[in-house]
Amino acid sequence: MKKNLITTFIFAIIIKFTIVNSYSVEPEEILQNPQQEIRARNISKNIRCLVCQNQSIDDSSAPLAKDLRELIRIKVQKNDSDEEIYKFLTDRYGDFILLKPPLKISTFLLWCLPFVFFVIGITIIVQQNKKSKKYIS
């Protein structure tokens, strides 16, 4: 049993460090200029594939993802700014196309609730701690 666990753990580590760079960019898509290619890759990593919905277009092999990757590369070559490219995409597909939701009034709760819960949790722990100390003494 213990041996099994150890082997699983070792395999998990091997997998983790060998299959990091899985992406779907096809050879003919890659731009000549390495700096532009890196910019395009970084943008694609933040763009959701609307077909698979939990993958970035950099990871997805769906035809629409490929089209969007090509479109981003055309825009990068035209020297459009990152903001312009993101705006182009959100104007058509909405904020959902961004893997990381932007901080807006409508998403305020989404971003802040984790911190609120964290503070609540800490307060409860501190209070319980105080109580148990009182009990002991």
Partner 1 sequence: MKRKILILPIILFFTLLIVFFYLLVIDRNPSELPSVLINKEVPSFQAKSLMTKKTFISEKEFNGEIILVNFFATWCAPCLQEHQYLKKLSNQRGLKIIGINYKDDPTTALAWLKKLGNPYADVIADKKGHIGIDWGVYGLPETFIIDSKGVIKYRLIGPITKKTYKAFYSKVMEIENL
Binding site residues, partner 1, CB under 8 A: 50-51, 53, 63-64, 67-68, 71, 90-94, 96
Q: Min. distance of Cβ 75 from partner 1 in angstroms? A: 12
Of the CA atoms within 13 Å of residue 53, those in its CB half-sphere come to 0
92-99 long-range Cβ contacts below 8 angstroms, 24+ apart: 93/50, 96/48, 96/50, 97/47, 97/48, 97/50, 98/46, 98/47, 98/48, 99/45, 99/46, 99/47, 99/48, 99/56
Of 14 and 51, CB closest to partner 1: 51
Residue 89: other Cβ atoms inside 10 A: 22
Of 96 and 118, CB closest to partner 1: 96
Of 35 and 54, CB closest to partner 1: 54
Q: Min. distance of Cβ 61 from partner 1 in angstroms? A: 15
Q: Min. distance of Cβ 136 from partner 1 in angstroms? A: 18
Of 50 and 99, CB closest to partner 1: 50
Q: Min. distance of Cβ 70 from partner 1 in angstroms? A: 9
DSSP letters along 78-135, please?
Answer: TT--HHHHHHHHHHHH-GGGBSS----STTHHHHHHHHHHHHHHHHHHHHHHHHHHHH
Q: Min. distance of Cβ 41 from partner 1 in angstroms? A: 20
Of 71 and 99, CB closest to partner 1: 71
